[in-house]
Amino acid sequence: MATSSASQQISRTSAWMAKQKDIEGFVQAARTSQQTRVAYLRSAHASGKSTTLLMHLLGMATGEQDGSQLIYVVPGDLDQMSALQYILSEDFREGVALRVAEKVRKNLDSGSPLVITTYGDFVRELSLGVAVPRRVTIVADVELRATLAGELFFGVLLELAGTSELALTILLMAPHYSHLTLKEFGRVVGDVQRIDVPDINPKLRIEHLGEAWAAEALAHVKQVRARDPSAAVFLSSSDAYDLGGWDGYAWLFDEKTSQIVRQARTITAYELQKELSWALKTTPAPETVRVFSCLTPAKAKKLQTSADPWGPAWNADLPRLILSLFGIWPRFRKVSDLPIRRPPDEYALSEMFRRLRIVGCVARQDDEKYGLTEKGEVVSRLLHATQGTGIDFHVSCLLSSVPSHGNRPGVQRVIIRMAAIMTHGAGNLAAPANLGARPSPQEVGNVSSGVGLKRHRMGALWMALGIYLRCAPSGMFKDNPVTVHNTGHFVIDTTIGSAVFQLVLVLEDLFGIHPAHNEIAETDLTDEEITLVEKELMWAWLHRTVGIYAATGTIFDVVSARRVEVDQRGELLDLWEARSDPHNSRMGGMLAIYSYLEYVPKATGGRVLVARDLTLIPQEHFKDVEAATGIPWPTSVSTTYPLH
């Protein structure tokens, strides 16, 4: 097929120039319009969207007599850093006046002709009262998998687009079309102009390896070494880049249980393109890059092609997303009243909203609209204050109870340590060393101390707490070169222990609690205080509870009534001992909270749902749930989601 001379003159790193007339026409028309206009530019990776196109748009903006401002919004800090590096480069300075490049800023209220900001910072500044000019050009990257920050940003941008007093020029950019985003902006402003840039990137050299290539390579090395023990090969990775796996584990909303479950996830076709774009962006001659892949062409063709796959916002971050919505729109009757993009699953959102009401984070206010309760506000603030520590919604719920126990410092310290342990995983901190036999009470006492030892039969959190209280004062979790300590009956991960220790210090500082001088003495609890802690654990993981039949050992997730299993070999809770307890036998069974659910492949094929880190909660505590909600247990937590 013949190629036109015009297309031959266009560099692949400025592929957008093929649609330069359309882009300029949109921008010029939008600037004279009395209402907000939106365009969606679809252009391949490495086609100059965030580099040469940004330079061109800035030139158009600064050429205006009124000194128009250009705001470029990117998903996160790394994207912002990359954009700023280009803007401060010689290539950018040659295309735009030096004075403009030097005035680039990160904040909206700087008055700079060019602002490079992130989804999160854009929302934060507007929530603090920073106003967007009536006429401004906003260029925004559309991420592939929606994050919490992304959903909040597009909600705010949709609200701005629907504000009659503003006449914004909004240019959305991505290598894919987010039909969800197109639909929502179309609903607000009417027609959204689509600008399709031809993909002129060269085809990459992908060399396909067998799935067992690593084992085969290692076997070959062993054969060579067997013939000549002195043989050696030195490999340099200085010019290599690891693109990551095409499949892996992720926290996903599970339609069979309506729970957030750790399970295998295969990347989508668009995610694969994003990974491969590294080869396009790092060299002027991408055709010389060798890409090795275990993903066969046949499997690549079967990858999901949706441009709107469920992102973290609608999976693991769903509870936090709902709380964050209240941070921007404090009162609303239903989520559909908000200007956010439509959720991929309305039922999942509704179910999670109900759970927040049950645990007391959200409630109907005097104006008949929903709002955050005092607990909900504390949980939301804690999630923000501890961002980056790994603390999730459930741990934040537990920590939200710390201030209410101000007259019981021992309870506060135990809650903080349990929160830190749960963040990093009780089973990750310690596990039985002998998979064929349970440790005896004496063996448990050799590695455990304090209130944790006293309650170790209740399972993961108490057992892990006892081990932590025994090991932390000895310095085991401070600069220990031995990463795994095997006592003969327990395996203790000192790296995890160190992370727990550091998080405890952070949390105690956050709550204004001085570090403990004596870990065991300052966490000692009375029976009444133990009950207080158990009830706080129950509420924090209320929707992560399993029922265990004493007679049969059958275990089920209470929310979904779905059968689950427990890997007794790695659990700190001795299920057989718990089932044999006379009290539990009389009650017919037990209730236990768990850290998370995980789909684990079976050797015979298929997969099984496994609950991790079980901690028993006395059944009588669950009477508090009915007293607080007016709904009998377990109906109060039974899912309303239509299980698939």
Residues 151 and 328: their CA atoms lie apart, in Å, by: 12
DSSP assignments along 254-283, one per residue: ETTTTEEEEEEEEPPHHHHHHHHTHHHHS-
Residue 545's Cβ-count burial label (10 Å; 0-12, 13-18, 19+) is buried
The CA-atom distances, in angstroms, between 35 and each of 24, 108, 160, 189, 539 are 18, 21, 11, 8, 49
Q: Taking the CA of residue 499 as centre, how many other CA atoms within 13 Å lie in the half-sphere pointing to its CB?
A: 19
Give the tokens for residue 334: 């239903």
Q: How big is the chain, counted in residues?
A: 644
Q: What is the pLDDT of residue 3?
A: 42
CA 453 to chain centre: 34
Residues 614 and 608: their CA atoms lie apart, in Å, by: 17
CA 223 to chain centre: 44
Residue with tokens 């900001």, as numbered in its chain: 117
Q: Is 475 helix (H, G, I), strand (E, B) or coil?
A: coil
Q: Specify which residues 372 forms β-bridges with.
A: 362
Residues 83 and 79: their CA atoms lie apart, in Å, by: 6
Report the predicted TM-score, pTM, of the whole model to 2 decimal places: 0.91
Mean pLDDT by 10 residues, the chain (644 residues): 52 93 95 94 94 88 70 95 84 62 82 92 96 94 96 98 96 96 96 96 83 72 79 59 72 97 91 86 80 80 82 96 96 90 94 98 93 98 97 99 98 99 98 86 94 98 98 93 92 97 98 96 98 99 99 98 94 95 96 98 93 98 98 97 87
Give the tokens for residue 274: 């994003």
Q: Which of 23, 24, 27, 63 is nearest to 167 (CA)?
A: 27
Q: What is the pLDDT of residue 241?
A: 59
How many CB atoms lie under 10 A from the CB of residue 442?
A: 8
Amino acid identity of residue 374, one-letter, is: E
Evaluated on CA atoms 176, 178, 179, 184, the torsion sign reads negative
Q: What is the pLDDT of residue 438?
A: 86
Q: Taking the CA of residue 129 as centre, how many other CA atoms within 13 Å lie in the half-sphere pointing to its CB?
A: 0
- What is the DSSP code (8-state) at residue 640? -
Residue with tokens 């490049």, as numbered in its chain: 101
CB within 8 A of 506, min separation 6: which ones?
386, 389
Q: What is the pLDDT of residue 4?
A: 44
